[in-house]
Amino acid sequence: MGHKRTFTIPGFQFAGISAGIKESHLSDLALIRSYPAATVVGAFTTNRIQAAPILVSKRNIRSGRCSAVIINSGNANACTGKRGLRDTERMVAITARTLKVPSRQVLVCSTGKIGVPLPIDRLVRGIPKAVRSLDKRKMMAAARAILTTDKGPKVAFASGKIGGKKFRIAGFAKGAGMIEPHLATMLAFFVTDLSIERRLLNKIFQESVDQTFNRITVDGDTSTNDTVLLLANGVAQNKKISPGSRAAFLFQKKLREVMEELALKIVEDGEGATKCVRIEVRGARNEEEARKVCYAVGNSPLVKTSFYGEDPNWGRILAAAGRSGATLTPETADIYYNEVCVMRRGVSTGSHLEFRAAKVMERGQFHVTIDLRRGKGSFWIWASDLTEDYVKLNSHYRT
């Protein structure tokens, strides 16, 4: 997987500028342009409170084609009533008119403070400026322009060959807080020059999202604005890809690599986070019960603070699992930090093993495994720790 600072995908251009939304005057307006128009699929927040850009993008994505995505940061345009919808429609209209594309082929995303009207006049001036700034080498500029509390831009790239034709996938994302499965304050954009039929593209996309972005948690909160989009413009001119084929498998493998890299970067960049922990539950009665335990443990403030304190407090893990609603009995359960078993059959394995587990927790990334010994169900997620910096940041930053 590439780690260059300049990513280019044939047929795509990018821009990232300052439209004056953020008081810091940092860049706050990003644009993705596809020529020709790309096949598009997406996933949106499951929060019942949905921001105006979510409503408009969910409508426009039904066309199946996308020529542009316009994204602002610093203002979520959520809970802003009819004005918010009008402002979103205006962003779409100006982008479409300036690029000379149909408005139904323009998607829009926003992230930032909730309940504050967009400074639409600044966006009216900023969008044409972003169009003039478009360049195939400016993905990193676009990645910077969508940030809020993130430490820095998150980008990833992969490539492969299908029928002798090279294809490329690139993605960039933002997200550091309000991260829960089923999308949270998270925006992620993926572009590829692959040619692929939309139904198959959507199947591969949804499966990949479920295995990556829907397996992370920072603080258990879910946002009003989450969006993940995938645009495929077909410039690679590869042969038709059939469901179940080696070509479809290769594309899904590469897409998942890029998504997983960005999903992990989001957890690692969690607000104030110092640890990235893979929590795996196995031996549950079924996958759904394993999932319940994973999220109960991964979202527990007591467990997360123990990660930060590098304290292998397995009692907190067991207590969180016990309130998950899953069927379990302590007398059959084991808990591990990496390969170190700190609880077997519901009792401690001794202070010497807890000492070894504490050493494991000194690493920035480690695994916690909970074996319930009740069946064959399993599930895993990535979670962050919980620190003083998270509290400080969220007491001073208004979402």
Q: Coil, strand or helix: which one is 37?
A: strand
The Cα 343–Cα 350 span in angstroms is 8
> Of 221, 317, 218, 318, whose CA–CA distance to 274 is shortest?
218
Q: Verify whether residue 349 is a known catalytic residue.
A: no
The answer to whether residues 169 and 191 touch, using CB atoms and an 8 Å cutoff, is yes
H-helix or E-strand spanning residue 12 = strand 12-17
Of 185, 192, 212, 224, the active-site residue reads 185
Provide the token pair at 277.
Answer: 């922990």
> Of 251, 222, 329, whose CA–CA distance to 39 is shortest?
251
Location of structure tokens 């879910």: 222
DSSP state of 133: H
Q: Give residue 80's Cα distance to chain centre.
A: 24
Q: Coil, strand or helix: which one is 197?
A: coil
> Of 230, 236, 256, whose CA–CA distance to 167 is shortest?
236
The answer to whether residues 106 and 59 touch, using CB atoms and an 8 Å cutoff, is no
The Cα 123–Cα 105 span in angstroms is 19
Location of structure tokens 């821009």: 15
Location of structure tokens 């948690």: 217
Location of structure tokens 């195939």: 136
Q: Which residues are catalytic?
A: 185
